[in-house]
Amino acid sequence: MLGRVFGRKRRKVVVLGLDGVPCTLLERFAAEGVMPNVAGLIEEGTLCSMTASVPEVSSTSWSCFMTGVNPGRHGIYGFMEIDRNSYSWRFPNFNDLRSRTLWETAGEHGKRSIVVNVPSTYPARPLNGMLVSGFVALDLRKASYPDTMYRYLSSAGYRLDVDAGLALESLDDFTGDIIETFRKRVEVIRHLYDSEEWDLFIAAVTETDRLHHYLWDALDDETHPQHGFFTDFYRELDSFIGDLYGRTGSDTPFIMMSDHGFTAIKREVYLNAYLREKGYLSFDAEEPKSFEVMNKGSRAFVLDPSRVYIHLKGRFSGGCVEEDEYEDLRNAIKEDLLSLEIEGERVVRSIFFKEDLYSGELLADAPDLVVLPFEGFDLKGSVTKTELCGRGPLTGGHTREDAVFFINRPAACDSPDIVDAGVTVLKMLGIETDGLDGKALA
Amino acid sequence: MDMSECVIVVTGLPRSGTSMMMKMLQAGGVEIVTDNVRKADEDNPEGYYEFEKVKRIGEDASWLDEARGKAVKMASMLLYDLPLDRTYKLVFMRRKMDEILASQRKMLERKGTGDEFDDGEMRGLFSRHLAEVESWISRQENMEVLYVDYNEMLLDPLENIRRLKRFLGDDLDEERMAGVVDPSLYRNRKPASAAVKEGDETVDDTGDDEKIKARLRELGYM
């Protein structure tokens, strides 16, 4: 307050999230002239290839960013879990996040935040500022805080997300929906940026991820009907980035980041089918739809995308694996998964035990093993698939590596991890970051 | 007021979230008084947590001796009948009146008695009752009360559960209680007459899990 009275400049930070944008793609489009504004930014600041969370899904990665801690502390290991008693699906949401967000910490220091479309922030929770939730937000009212935000967004015709289901019906309609949603989001971001008081401004663009999932094959295939759209969309994104940076200026820390990279999918691999084949998993129904019909003698199962859970006694109500069998079983599953080959190609690049990846009071909730594939293999935890591999409508899948971290000033690109991005934001705001898992990059 | 000596009474208007609160307390480790006579149905899929004898408390309150340290559900209209020689901790549920009325209307329509329901009249009756009973509670020396807003609970369960813990005691299992706050129970919150408009993203969130599954499937999950 005194700073304001005496005219001292407030420390502000702007973060632009680019969901699912690979660092290599930004570099390429900058070099090819598709993204001239990004090219200018790269010259001015520092662009690093960042490592995302494990698993490399938006809910976990964005939660790591927004808390600056690992999943063993924030508790979000994926988009879905199963209830330990009923084995029914459970979908963790923002209320399940067990660590403070950047904007909650900023709020405790009297700083006001505007947060737009960050995934895994649904339903909206009160903060010192305004927020509209990102994926998987369903209801605009519940996605908005405070009520004035809801009224503004309603009147502006804001769209929570692209209707990705359109991609299965008509790619023209899908791309039309992407651009419409993106333009509306940009309009709202600009309005909030200009009209609100803030210290921390975080906005995420998620249309990139939807585009990549369904049209990654259009990126390099010049004969693809949507090839032109892909690059045109990035031109428009670049124009928005240039516009936003023009408003921000070089004095204010300007961060761009993504939550994972992307690559072409050669094959989807259904890990539960593999566990069934290997005798670790069985179901009591011929066509299972959920784990509610998992045979209680099952010893392991997989939740999307590649989280392996040991069916441990005491952890699950029907668990059958004894504590003293646990290590041998984990090692056996690891060996089996490492040996998995499809058409002579090895599928699994590495497997982590939970203690290799996570630490904290919620470690007990972590998957027992997490699998990372070689590029091109998209691992799935589907319970309905009986075949080992196949192809779906998606042409692009996530990678843990190659996420974006950019800041418009010198930065230490020493193996940056997504938790570091969150810590850097607090540091730039002048807030102590002791006790967080990441390190400040600038 | 010692929690083991008093009766915990979960109260409020019908459809104000009292069943959810009972379930939360049970999950948190509080023993509840219920006879399960009224079974779960479409309006309260998780059950009602009712105790038939509560309805006749004016005639027979002897069962209260066995209810010390436990939680019992009671419509706020019956609070006046609680004997004065015992102590109570009231958890009084509040909910947006529009949602209470919409929920009641829907429940009565399912029972085929929705025609008898007049929103305006009920709103007036409920509002007057709430003002009276809250004023009355404030004058009772043998009662402590915590007002819990159902809508706030859904938005920020952890903060509200912490308030509950401060009121009822630190032994409550915060995480299990939070697990009860199930968004799929947040139903019937729009007046039946308020049709969802095409393109309006403020939709009834009944079946949120199914919608989430559908959205996740679109991006290759599930």
Structural domain boundaries in chain B? 7-192+200-218
**Based on the domain organization, do A20 and A103 belong to the same domain?**
yes
* Residue to substitute from B158, B159, B200, B218, interface A, most A β-carbons within 10 A: B218
- CATH level 3 topology of B7-192+200-218: Rossmann fold (3.40.50)
Write the ipTM. Answer: 0.93
CA distance A33 to chain B (A): 30
Q: Quick one: A55 and A183 in the same domain?
A: yes
Answer yes or no: is pLDDT of A160 > 60: yes
Of the pLDDT bands very low, low, confident and very high (cuts 50, 70, 90), residue A9 is: low
Same domain, A218 and A324: no
Least confident of A232-241, A314-323, B26-35: B26-35
Domain annotation covers residue A436: no
H-assigned helices in A165-206:
171-195
Is residue A234 included in any domain, yes or no? yes
Contacts of B220 in chain A (CB under 8 A): 213, 268, 378, 380, 392, 394, 397
Judged by a CB distance cut-off of 8 A, whether residue B198 touches chain A is no
Q: Range with the lowest mean pLDDT among A258-267, A325-334, B140-149?
A: B140-149
Whether A433 maps to a domain, the answer reads no
Residues A403 and A271 in one domain: no
Burial code (b: 16+ CB inside 10 Å, e: under 16) for A231-243 equals bebbeebbebbee
B154/A123 touch (CB, cutoff 8 Å), yes or no: yes
CA–CA distance, A116 with B75 (Å, rounded to integer): 41
The predicted structure's pLDDT at residue B183: 47
Whether B209 and chain A come into contact, CB under 8 Å, resolves to yes
Asked whether residue A212 falls in the same domain as residue A278, the answer is: no
In this prediction, residues A285-295 reach a mean pLDDT of 94
Whole-angstrom distance, CA of residue A130 vs CA of residue A127? 7
Q: What is the pLDDT of residue A149?
A: 93
Confidence grade of residue A220 (pLDDT, cut at 50, 70, 90): very high
- What is A329-342 written as a DSSP string? HHHHHHHHHHT-EE
Tell me what the mean pLDDT of segment A396-416 comes to. Answer: 96
Residue A386 has pLDDT above 70, yes or no: yes
Same domain, A39 and A134: yes
User: Quick check: A8 pLDDT over 60?
Assistant: no
Q: What is the CATH number of the domain that holds A205?
A: 3.40.720.10
Q: Is A440 inside a domain boundary?
A: no
Of B152, B198, B201, which to mutate for an interface test with A (greatest number of A Cβ within 10 Å)?
B201
Answer for the pair A427, A433: CB distance below 8 angstroms, yes or no: yes
The pLDDT tens digits for A180-216 are: 999 999 999 999 999 999 999 999 999 999 999 999 9
Contact: B216, A79; criterion CB under 8 Å = yes
More confident: A147 or A387: A387
User: Does residue B94 contact residue B11 with C-beta atoms inside 8 Å?
Assistant: no
pLDDT of res. B41: 63
A230 and A120 both lie in a single domain: yes
Residues B155-167 have pLDDT tens digits of: 888 888 988 998 8
Q: Do B221 and A138 touch (CB under 8 A)?
A: no
Q: Which distant-in-sequence residues (6+ apart) come within 8 Å of B210 by Cβ? A: none
Q: Do B202 and A79 make contact, defined as CB atoms within 8 angstroms? A: no
Q: Which residues contact B205 (CB under 8 A, 6 or more apart)?
A: A138, A139, A142, B183, B184, B186, B187, B189, B211
The SS3 of residue A283 is: strand
If DSSP codes are grouped into helix, strand and coil, which group holds residue A150? helix
How many A×B Cβ pairs under 8 Å?
71
Q: Give me the amino acid identity at B9.
A: V
- Asked if the Cβ–Cβ distance from A95 to B156 is below 8 Å, we say yes
Query: CA dihedral defined by B21, A77, A66, A442, rounded to 10 degrees?
Result: 160
At A13-35, the pLDDT tens digits run: 999 999 999 999 999 999 999 99
Please report the sign of the dihedral spanned by the C-alpha atoms of residue B188, residue B194, residue B195, residue B199: negative
Distance CA B34, CA A33 (A): 71
Dist. CA A88–CA A139, nearest whole Å: 23
Q: Choose, out of B202, B203, B210, the residue to mutate when testing the contact with A (most A CBs < 10 Å).
A: B202
Nearest to B201 among A95, A140, A213 (CB): A140
- Co-location of A291 and A371 in the same domain: yes
Q: Which of A126, A141, A392 sits opposite B156 (nearest CB)?
A: A126
Per the model's pLDDT, the better-predicted residue between B120 and A144 turns out to be: A144
Give chain A's domain count: 2
Q: What angle do CA A149, A155, A156 make, to 5 degrees?
A: 85
Q: Do A75 and A166 have their domain in common?
A: yes
Inter-residue contact A333 to A392 (CB < 8 Å): no
Strand ranges across the sheet with A144-145: A46-50, A403-407, A254-257, A13-18, A200-205, A113-118, A129-133, A144-145
Euclidean distance between CA atoms A51 and A357, whole angstroms: 13
Question: Do B92 and B76 contact (CB within 8 A), yes or no?
Answer: yes
**Averaged pLDDT for residues A34-44:** 98
Q: Which amino acid is at A27?
A: E
Question: Which residue of chain B has the CA closest to A161?
Answer: B215
pLDDT score, position A383:
96
- Residue A212, token pair as written in the block: 């990549």
> Per the CB < 8 Å rule, is A126 touching B203?
no
Q: Touching check for B45 and chain A: CB below 8 Å?
A: no
Q: What's the CATH code of the domain at A371?
A: 3.30.1360
Per-residue pLDDT at A5 exceeds 70? no
* pLDDT at residue B175, rounded to an integer: 81
Average pLDDT, chain A: 95
User: Considering just the CA atoms, what is the radius of gyration of chain A in Å?
Assistant: 22
B208 part of contact set with chain A, CB < 8 Å: yes
Give pLDDT < 70 ranges for chain B.
Answer: 1-2, 36-47, 111, 113-117, 182-207
Does position A1 have pLDDT exceeding 80, yes or no?
no
CB contact under 8 A, B220 and A213: yes
Q: Which residues of A touch B (CB under 8 A)?
A: 79-80, 89, 91, 93, 95, 123-126, 135-136, 138-142, 154, 159-161, 164-165, 167, 209-210, 213, 268, 304-305, 378, 380, 382, 392, 394, 397
Confidence of residue A322 (pLDDT cuts 50, 70, 90): very high
SS3 B144: strand
Q: What Cα–Cα distance (Å) separates residue B221 from each residue in A202, A335, A343, B182?
A: 27, 25, 24, 22
The CA distance from A439 to A415, in Å, is 11
Domain that holds residue A127: 2-264+397-428
- Cross-strand bridge partners of residue A51: A417
Which tens digit of pLDDT belongs to each residue from A91-115?
A: 999 999 999 999 999 999 999 999 9
Q: Are A231 and A37 in contact (CB under 8 A)?
A: no
Same domain, A13 and A143: yes
What residues of B are in contact with residue A185 (Cβ under 8 Å)? none
Nearest-neighbour CA in chain B from A249: distance (Å) = 35
Q: Which chain A residues are Cβ-neighbours of B201 within 8 angstroms?
A: 139-140, 159-160
CA atoms of B39 and B52, how far apart (whole Å): 12
Q: Quick one: A28 and A78 in the same domain?
A: yes
Which residues in chain A touch residue B183, judged by CB atoms under 8 angstroms apart?
93, 123
Written as one letter, the residue type at B166 is: R
Task: Please tell me whether residues A155 and A39 are part of one structural domain.
Answer: yes
The residue of chain A nearest to residue B215, with distances taken between CA atoms, is A136
